[in-house]
Amino acid sequence: MFFRRDETRPPFRKRSGPAADLSFTEEQAAGGGMFTRRALLILAAQAGVMGTLAHHLYEMQVVHGDELKEQARRNRTSRRQIAPARGEIYDRCGVLLAGNRPNWRALVMVEETTDLQAVVDRFATIVPLDERDRLRIERDRKHVRRYVPLTLKEFLTWDDVARLGLNAPTLPGVLIDVGTTREYPFKELLAHIIGYVAPPNEKDVQRDGIMALPGMKVGRAGIEQTQEIHLRGQPGTVEMEVNAYGRVMGELERVEGQPGARLELTLDTTLQSRIRDRIGERVASAVVMDCRNGEVMGLVSTPSFDPTLFDGGISRTQWNSLITDQRTPLVDKAVSGLYPPGSTFKPAVALAALRAHAITPSERFSCPGYYDMGGVRFHCWSRYGHGAINLHQALKYSCDVYFYQVARRCGMEAIHDAAATLGLDGPLPIELPHRRAGSVPTPEMRRKHGHHWNGGDTVNAGIGQGLVQTTPLALATYASRLATGRLVQPHLLRSVSDQAIMTDPEPLPFAKEFLAAARSGMFAVVNEPQGTAPAARLNLPGVQMAGKTGSAQVRNVPRALRESGHFNSMNLPWQYRPHALFICFAPYDNPRYAVSVVVEHGNAGATEAAPLAAQIMTDALVRDPANRTSLSRGVVARADGLDD
C-alpha cells in the first residue's frame, strides 16, 4: 500500500535512541490501523460474495439438485412412450392366426425441431411421401401432443434406412424406430373371424391418448375388435440422447411395454380350410359347432378379403372395389347374413305345437298339394301332395301343407317362444362384432311397429318364409340344441392368457319325447327312403346323420306360373333364385357336431346345400381325435374324396 507524502511537513529524518524508536512505532501503528480496516472491508466483501456463491451453490446442489439434474438430463435426452406388441391369436391346435412382424419406420420428435415443415420437406427428398402421407402428417400434427413423435413413413426398406442414416445431420428430430405390424398368415381364410387392425382415428385418440403413439393400431372387425382391451397391452418407454440441434445421438435405455394377451380360439384352421375348399366359388356360408359345449370349430363366409390391406390404410380404389361387389366380400354372412330359414324351420314349429299340445306326433293332416285360406291358395312344394301324414312323415317329406295347418293351430306366439328357445330369435353371444339377430315376430310385435298381421303371415311362418329371418350361426346353434337338448351357446374364445373359458349348458325346456320326435323326423330326412336329403348320407361306417333341408324364396312366384307345372327356379337369373339351406348333426346316436350351410341363390337345399354339409360333417368327424383311431385309413381316404 502506498501513502502520499505531505509536502508541508519537514522531511523525515532518522532519529536515534529510545525516543526515535517510540516515534516510529506510533507512526507505524497509525498506518497499520488504516490498513487493517480496509483489509477487513475487503475481506468482508469477499466473504459476502463467497457466502452468496455458497448459498446459491447449496440451493443448486442440495435444495434444487434433483430438479436441476433432471432438467440437465432432459436437455441431453428425450424420453417417449413406445407402443406395446399386440397380443397374438392362435387356434385350438396352437396354429398362429394373427401375429406381429418388424416394421421399420421414420419418426420425428416435434419438440426437437424448430421448423417441422422444413424437416418434412427435406425428408421427402430422401424418402418420397405421397399425398396420403402428407395429409396424415398434417392431421396428426394438429391433434397429437408435442412430446409424442409423429410418424413420417412406415414400412421402410433397408435402402430407405441407409439413406436416412447418411442424411441424419440435416434431419433434426428425425429418428429410425422399429415397431411391429400385424401379420395374418391365413389372410382371406380367417378374415371375417380374426378381422383386421387399422390406424386410430381422431375419436380413438381423444378417448385414449395412448392411441396417438406411433405403431398403435385399433381392431376394426372380428376378434381384433371385440377383444381390443385384451390384445392392446401396456406401452413401454425409450430414452434417447440428443445434441443441441435435436439430432438423435443414440439410445440410452429401453423398457419394453407389456404385450397384449395371448388368445386361443375354438377354431380348427385345417377344418376351416377344408370347408372353404368344399364351398369353392359359391357365395355361401357354413358353420361347424361342437354340440356339447358350443365351441365353433369352423365358420366360413365366401367370398372373403385380405385383411392386411387395412393395416397401413386401404386405398380408395381398393375400398370401392370391395363395397361395390354384389357378392359382399366384407360381410361375414355366417353371423351378419339374414335369410328366411325355409323348411329348416319346421322342427321348431313341430316342437312349438307339441309343447302347446296342439298336435300329437301320430296325428295326421291331409296334403292335397295346396292349402286354401281366406281366398288365398298356399302351395306345397309337391304339386301332387303327400296325402294323410303324421309328424315323422311331414319332416321326412318336408310337407308344406302339414306345417301350414300346424302353424295355424298352435299360433304364432307359441312358434315365437319355441324358436327363441332354440336360438332362432334374438342375438347370440358370440365374440364377433356386427352380428345380426334372427327375427321371429309375433302379431303383437308387428302391431307395435304399426304393421298389420293376418293369418297368411302365420301360415308363411310355419314353413320358415315371410317375416321369419335368421343367420347361419343361429341355424347351427339351433341344430346343436335339437341334437343335445341343451341350451348350447356358440363361442369362439377358448382361453385368454392360458385361462380356459368353461361352459356348462342347461337343459332345454322341452320334454324329451318331443325332442325325440323332432330328431326322428330329421333322421328320416337323410336315411329313410323318400327322405328329401339322401345325398347327405355319410360315407363313414357306423355313423349316421340327421338333418333338414330348406329352400328360401327371395321373390314371389305368381300362382298361375306355379300351377302351370312349367316353373323351374333354375331358369331365373342368379340373384332371383332361392337360397339353399341345410342343417344337420352327427353322429345321430351320440351327437358331437352340428353343421349349417347356406348357399345364396343355390336354388334347392336338397341338391346344393345337403351334399356340401355332408362333406363338411365328414371332415369334422374325421378330424375329431376320438374318431382318428377308430376310422381306418381307407375310410379317411374315401371321406376326403367324397366330392370326386
Marked catalytic residue, from 343, 398, 480, 551: 343
HSE, CB side, 13 Å, CA atoms: give it for residue 88: 13
Beta pairing class for 493-496 and 263-265: antiparallel
- Measured CA to CA, the distance from residue 641 to residue 644 in angstroms comes to 5
For residue 578, count CB atoms less than 10 angstroms from its CB and return exposed for 0-12, middle for 13-18, buried for 19 or more: buried
- Residue 39 neighbours by CB distance under 10 Å: 11
If you ran DSSP here, which 8-state letter would residue 498 be given?
T
Tell me, what amino acid is at 450?
Answer: G
Residue 97's DSSP bridge partners are none
In 110-145, which positions are buried (b, 16+ CB within 10 angstroms) versus exposed (e)?
bebbeebeebbeebeebbebeeebeebbeebeeebe
Identify the residue whose cell numbers are 392360458. 498
- Report how far residue 606's alpha carbon sits from residue 593's, in angstroms, rounded to the nearest whole number: 20
Q: Verify whether residue 343 is a known catalytic residue.
A: yes
Sign of the torsion formed by the C-alpha atoms of 143, 149, 150 and 151: negative
Enumerate the β-bridge partners of residue 282.
none
The β-bridge partners of 176 are 106
> Which residue has 375400398 as its cell numbers?
319
For residue 631, the one-letter residue type is: L
* Amino acid letter for position 303: P
Residue pair 595/613 in contact (Cβ under 8 Å)? The answer is yes
**Lookup: cell for 69:** 439434474
**β-strand partners of 387:** 367
Amino acid at 404: Y
Q: In sequence order, which ranges of 280-387 are alpha helices (DSSP H)?
A: 316-323, 333-336, 346-355
Largest CA distance in the chain: 167
In single-letter form, the type of residue at position 310 comes to: F
Residues designated catalytic: 343
